[in-house]
Structure 1
Amino acid sequence: MSAVIKTTEELVIPILTKKNLELVDIEYVKEGPNLFLRVYIDKPGGIDITECGEVSELLSEELDRVDPIKDAYFLEVSSPGVERPLKTKQDFANNIGKNVLIKLYSPIDGEKEFEGILKDFNNEIAVVSYKVKTRTKEIEIPFDKIAKARLAVAF
């Protein structure tokens, strides 16, 4: 974890705890000539723009005080959106029954990507029901083989 992300996490957690909000993710990325520090927050039922603005103001003050980023950057505080990343075991447990997209470090049954319904998660294994043409299959995916996962909008 980069020092900027670690410092930002240490600064934002107390702010979010006071507001009963959850930290979903932090990104520190360069896009073109610009640097962006993105903080994704949420709560049950979703988050609104007012809450994002309040967290942004408070976090901005803390970042100015600590000054972990010497270059100019843009701070963005927002909802993770409908395709929210699933990073922790708790994220998986909280999203059983929802459509997910899971990408793996190494293939299982010749595939490195599965999209389907998260049927179960028992702390180490995600069970996903997915379709292959007209057949429905189930796959057990060990948590430590998951490179990236997110909720996926089903059409």
Structure 2
Amino acid sequence: MKKIAELTAELAAPVAAERGCTIWDVEYVKEAGTWYLRVLLDKEGGVDILDCEAISREVSDLLDEADPIEGSYTLEVGSAGAERALKRPGDFVRFMGSPVAVRLYRNRDGRKEFAGTLTGYDEGTGAVTVRIGDNETTFEKADTALVRLRVEFS
């Protein structure tokens, strides 16, 4: 049986495509005792509230019809955001050269978060290389809790 997030992504992809959007990620998570099914969208030029509303309505109907989830949950459809998490190999390739923040599980050099420019990704190991100032630092996948885009203001 397919995971709920995977099934939801398959159901939502054609609906999102009709509005010029793509599915960035789908999460099915429990927070504070409530289950949330989140569909995060991406779109050239940005996702707007009308995209989210239309896609939410259609995906909700498709989920009601397919009925893959026992019990209650909250469906949320929104933009992946400017500071979105990078998870898949294609995400790292697409945003190579972009400002990122890397959060670690354990302190390294007295801190857990590092900001820099994404300069490398090893698809085989999942290691991420980031230029921080004049130095390049590689973070192993096992040590890395999160890699996300970072917006810089000048």
TM bin, normalised by shorter chain, reads 0.7 to 0.9
TM-score by length of 1: 0.78
Asked if 1:4 corresponds to 2:9, the answer is no
Would the aligned equivalents of 1:24 and 1:85 in 2 still touch at CA under 8 Å? no
**Partner secondary structure for residue 118 of structure 2:** strand
Aligned residues: CA RMSD: 2.8
**AA paired with 2:132?**
Y
Matches of 1:126 and 1:50, distance apart in 2: 35
Q: Which residue of 2 aligns with 1:39?
A: 39
The correspondence for 1:129, drawn from 128, 131, 134, is 131
Report the CA distance shift for 1:143/1:43 in structure 2 as closer, same or farther (over 3 A).
Answer: farther
Stretches of structure 1 lacking an aligned partner (at least 5 in a row): none
Q: Give the alignment's TM-score, normalised by structure 2.
A: 0.78
- Match in the other structure for 2:136: 138
Query: Which string of whole-angstrom CA distances, capped at 9 and with x for unpartnered residues, describes residues 73-131 of structure 1?
Result: 11110001121111122211221232112245789899865321113457556431114
Gaps of 5+ in 2: none
1:22 and 2:22 aligned: yes
Q: Distance in 2 between matches of 1:143 and 1:17?
A: 32
Contact 1:101–1:113 (8 Å) recurs in 2: yes
- Corresponding position of 2:92: 92
Q: Which residue of 1 aligns with 2:49?
A: 49
Q: Is the 8 A contact 1:100 1:152 kept in 2?
A: yes
User: Partners in 1 of 2:110 and 2:29 — Cα distance?
Assistant: 32
| Alpha-carbon distance in 2 for matches of 1:39, 1:102 | 23
Q: Taking every aligned residue pair, what percent have the same amino acid on both sides?
A: 38
| Paired residues, number | 150
